[in-house]
Structure 1
Amino acid sequence: MTPASELRSGKTDRDENFPVASWIIHPRHRALILAFYNFVRTADDIADHALLDAPAKLALLDELEADLLGQGDGQAEAVVLREALQMREMPPRHALDVLTAFRMDVTKLRYADWDELIHYCSFSAMPVGRFMLDVHGESKATWPASDALCAALQINNHLQDCGNDYRDLDRVYIPQDTLDRHGASVEDLKQAKASPALLACIRELVAKTETLMHESETLTVHIADVRLGCDVAVIETFAWQILKMLKLRDPLSEKVHLSKASMAGYALAGIAGGLWRRATTSAPMPRSTTPGA
């Protein structure tokens, strides 16, 4: 059995486009959130590993799941998360959903349309937001807005890294019907500079992602925990800034990531904006419409 920790890429929570268990979050939640993050990061690194074939990746993901469910103790990240969840009497539901996404990363390399991409996000991104809400004891009525925000974050990431995803992993998250509509091809993604057709595809997906962001606007107000609400406001601010960059820059030839310095400034702006919205907005909590909630 290969320890999954030996396959880690070296990427940590400090390298993400969003804060992970930041100082904004109450300290009592941070250990569980970091355990979840380390489990997810380990699974992600397995799915992306350049030297493993598909069967080996799937076998390792199965081991993570088995250990998370208490059927073994070989993978440390799964055991740590399992024990952390047990201490809080929380089920492993969201972690299991994310494993489904990483299996998809191994076996599904193309997406036909926007609906298929959102279906992928329902496993790769939405469970992460739901986990954070559950950790804080929030109402499941917040899930739809959180789902929209998390899908937007995922698609931002896909657009930022579209060239590397294709060149390194043969993965294309830009839907085929979007490529067809603008006369672009998958081969455009391996060029040093994006073609006008590919840029048109990216701009279309940015517009759809902006719609998701608007669908998530009530989330900060409806979250009961003030610290979590501020954390979400920071994440929203980062996401909007990345969307602005994607409108103006070519992700194949230009950097489309926030610098550490700019993230600090946007974080302060996000906290201030989130607190202002909470103080000045009176919005009723939506009824839960989440299937199975």
Structure 2
Amino acid sequence: MKDDAQVWGERDVSSSKGMNDENFPVGSFLISAEQRPAVHAYYRFARVADDMVDNGQLSPAQKIARLTALRDVLHGQRKPPAGRADAWSGVILRTVLQERGLPLELGSDLITAFIMDAEKTRYEHWSELLHYCRYSANPVGRFLLMLHGEGEETFGPSDALCTALQIVNHMQDVSSDLKQLNRCYVPLPWLAAENVRLKDLILARSKPGVRRVFDHMLAHVDALNEEAARLPGLVKDRRMRLEAAVIVALCRRLTERLHQQDPIAERVALTRLDGLRALGWAMRYIR
């Protein structure tokens, strides 16, 4: 095992980005005050790992070493260095999961996805992207559901929702991911079929071929959103049911915006009004 200085480096690379900076609600007021600290601990762990893999000053090998160490801390196989909030996020989440009888894999699966990001910058097939989402996104929904005591019948629609959220986020960031991280989640054969090159994804606006690729992706997201729409009706906890309904509505709205707007020409994002409308739509599940 490498020593702490080799693995963790001289400083914590975590950003100042917080839950309010995310596209979708994280630990919102709809989550009970009792459960919110657990959600915050999970978010903080995920944020730390995400910052590690997106840091441009670390080599892929350094990213993988830190991520592996963070996973070892989560599993109690490594002690975190003193004074390092990034490493201690693994201890905090481990405590949260153990106290609630939840599997540690809900956290370590995220690390698997971030290690993929350090190793892989291109995707050849849609199935590869779905495999990535299985680790990068789906554990988040399952964590929230298991935290609230929901059953396995909710997992399929939740996985569909989380995968849809991940893909629309990739589409929002398609240009910046390529420019800043040299990372592209759009299946390369789909681009090739439309005679689109990677550099076309960082132009001022989408070419017709790029738009057709995006529409192809969104057709798959539409199908995921249809499956995700079943989720609120399956959730027993009232507050979690409302949270799920809001996120389902927001994901559908962002998908609609991506159908209509060009994510290369502009940042396609949700508005405050979208949020209020989603909350209003979710109230049908208040029973």
Q: TM-score, normalised by structure 1?
A: 0.90
- Residue 13 in structure 1 maps to residue 19 in structure 2: yes
Q: What are the equivalent positions in structure 2 for 1:18-37 lying under 5 Å apart?
A: 18-37=24-43
Give the Cα separation in 2 of the matches to 1:98 and 1:232.
20
8 A contact 2:164–2:221 mirrored in 1? yes
Give the Cα separation in 2 of the matches to 1:4 and 1:196.
47
Task: Please provide the CA RMSD for this pair.
Answer: 1.6
8 A contact 2:253–2:274 mirrored in 1? no
Q: What are the equivalent positions in structure 2 for 1:63-212 lying under 5 Å apart?
A: 63-70=69-76, 71-74=78-81, 75-212=87-224
Please tell me the residue identity of whatever aligns with 2:79: G
8 A contact 1:122–1:151 mirrored in 2? yes
- Residue 226 in structure 1 maps to residue 226 in structure 2: no
Give the Cα separation in 2 of the matches to 1:90 and 1:163.
37
Give the Cα separation in 2 of the matches to 1:273 and 1:196.
40
8 A contact 2:122–2:184 mirrored in 1? yes
The gaps in structure 2 that reach 5 residues or longer are 82-86
Please tell me the residue identity of whatever aligns with 2:277: Y
The gaps in structure 1 that reach 5 residues or longer are 280-293
Q: What are the equivalent positions in structure 2 for 1:194-273 lying under 5 Å apart?
A: 194-259=206-271, 261-273=272-284
Give the Cα separation in 1 of the matches to 2:75 and 2:95.
10
1:114 CA displacement:
1.0
Give the Cα separation in 2 of the matches to 1:193 and 1:9.
30
- % of aligned pairs identical? 36
Query: Helix, strand or coil: the match of 2:12?
Result: helix
Give the Cα separation in 2 of the matches to 1:263 and 1:13.
18
8 A contact 1:152–1:213 mirrored in 2? yes
8 A contact 1:4–1:46 mirrored in 2? no
- Residue 291 of structure 1 corresponds to which residue in structure 2? none
Query: Helix, strand or coil: the match of 1:215?
Result: helix
- Residue 274 of structure 1 corresponds to which residue in structure 2? 285
- Residue 84 of structure 2 corresponds to which residue in structure 1? none
1:81 CA displacement:
0.8
Give the Cα separation in 2 of the matches to 1:90 and 1:246.
36
Query: Helix, strand or coil: the match of 2:35?
Result: helix
8 A contact 1:5–1:76 mirrored in 2? no
Kindly tell me: are residues 4 and 219 of structure 1, through their superposed partners in 2, closer, same or farther at Cα, counting changes over 3 Å? farther
Number of residue pairs matched by the alignment: 275
Kindly tell me: are residues 92 and 218 of structure 1, through their superposed partners in 2, closer, same or farther at Cα, counting changes over 3 Å? same
Kindly tell me: are residues 230 and 123 of structure 1, through their superposed partners in 2, closer, same or farther at Cα, counting changes over 3 Å? same
Moved over 6 A (4+): none
1:82 CA displacement:
1.2
1:5 CA displacement:
7.9
Residues 54-83 of structure 1, C-alpha deviations (whole Å, 9 max, x = no match): 011011101111111112123111111111
8 A contact 2:113–2:132 mirrored in 1? yes
1:234 CA displacement:
0.6
Q: TM-score, normalised by structure 2?
A: 0.92
8 A contact 1:58–1:106 mirrored in 2? yes
